Amino acid sequence: MEIDENINLEYELEKALERAESVEEYKKIIRVALGQWLQNLKGGQIKLNSVSDLKVLIEADLMLKDIEN
């Protein structure tokens, strides 16, 4: 029984690490996209009527922060 528990624990640890790595990658993507959005806003390529894009990025960032905690 102990061997099964160790295998289960190893599997759970591996999955937890994969999730943590995925969250970090998603956060990087969101930071890059948010930076690009802000550059486009400053450059006049995005007008304030497309704030919904920013809202989606912020919500995704907040969701990822919730996952971390």
pTM exceeds 0.85, yes or no: no
Cα angle for residues 15, 16, 18 (degrees, 5° grid):
65
**What pLDDT, on a 0 to 100 scale, did the predictor assign at position 48?**
64
* Rounded-to-integer distance, Cα 17 and Cα 34, Å: 26
Q: Token pair for residue 16?
A: 């937890």
* Rounded-to-integer distance, Cα 58 and Cα 63, Å: 9
**What pLDDT, on a 0 to 100 scale, did the predictor assign at position 69?**
64
pLDDT < 70: residue spans in the chain: 1, 48, 68-69
